[in-house]
Amino acid sequence: MTATIEVSGATRAYGDKRAVDYVDLTLEAGRITCLLGPSGCGKSTLLRLIAGLEPLDEGRVLANGQDITHLPPEQRDMGLVFQDYALFPHLRVDDNVGFGLGSLPTVERRARVADLLGRIRLGERGRAFPGELSGGEQQRVALVRALARRPHTVLLDEPFSGLDSHLKSEVREATLAILRETDAAVLVVTHDAEEAMQMADDLALMIDGRILQRGTPQACYLDPVSLEAARLLGEAQVISAEVSAGVAQTVFGSVPAPGHPDGGAQVMLRPNALVPGPGVEADVSEARFVGQAWRATLTVGEVSTQARLAHQPGSRLSVSLDPAAARVLA
């Protein structure tokens, strides 16, 4: 069964603090939505409200138009995956995966569990206990346990945060492949911008209990609604500009500014916005090699900004401004 989840006006307060502040969010069947924000911004609370693990102070949760706001978690048909995996330590792996399948005939239940374990390459570990598995293996078991009942919605709360960087990438790709095979509405809560960009069909950017922006990863990255939103997805510098007739002029070059009034403005630059080539002469300082690029401070007049360059620069560099990596902020 597929479903579209609609969260409308969701609000949750603890004392005087609103952890979730009148949030609207839609999760589409067959699509992965990543909810990205810093620690403490309310994203895990929002997930728990959708799951029914905490009550809403205000607002509603709908599944295919049906109000499920007051249903208990076990009646919402949602699979949950948490960062601590939450596997039952006293049950073997196959019993963990099949825990919610008690209504199925034994033969069918065993077949489904075997199929799921085979898909995550743990078919030979069914009789092991969770404590005998690595962190990455436990995470994969937690995922297929959440999918075993074929829920219409899957909610994952910081599912890879406990893994080291190499293992995180491997498990993330395995998780993504399995999720893509389902028609579930998927919500992944994360504070990792790279993770969100790699996994999401749709992004929701959250700060201080509110959704700042929703859209595709590309749209949110290239056209942020604010500097806060821009910085959730990566490094962003701000320089001053003067807008005239729909064009913002900076010391590094011009940026389209349709709809912006004439006068002073701010322009957001991504690290790749300044490109070596014919343009303006910039002074270069603090050039450092950072792995796949050189990070340098470029200065024209009294304006300085950071840039990522493919090659080590000298003390002076001619650069032009790539408008595709810059935006005039409202």
Superfamily of domain 5-232: P-loop containing nucleotide triphosphate hydrolases (3.40.50.300)
Which residues face 239 on adjacent strands? 267
Tell me how many degrees the CA angle 143-150-198 measures, rounded to the nearest 5: 45
Alpha-carbon Rg for the chain, nearest whole angstrom, is 24
Cβ neighbours of 108 (radius 10 Å): 11
List, by residue range, all CATH 3.40.50.300 domains of the chain: 5-232
Q: Tell me the per-residue pLDDT of 135-165, one tens digit each, with 9 for 90 and over.
A: 888 988 998 899 898 899 999 999 888 778 7
Residue 244 has pLDDT above 80, yes or no: yes
What's the rounded Cα separation, in Å, for the pair 207 and 215? 16
Instruction: Quickly list DSSP for 177-221.
Output: HHHHTS--EEEEEES-HHHHHHH-SEEEEEETTEEEEEE-HHHHH
pLDDT band of 1, cuts 50, 70, 90: low
**Range of lowest pLDDT (135-149, 206-220, 224-238):** 135-149
| Mean pLDDT, residues 110-139 taken together | 91
Instruction: Quickly list DSSP for 70-81.
Output: TS-GGGS-EEEE
- pTM of this prediction? 0.90
**Range of lowest pLDDT (18-27, 135-144, 304-313):** 135-144
**Cβ neighbours of residue 157 closer than 8 Å, sequence gap 6 or more:** 44, 47, 80, 81, 82, 83, 189
Distance of CA 127 to the CA centre of its chain: 34
Q: Is the model more confident about 37 or about 292?
A: 37
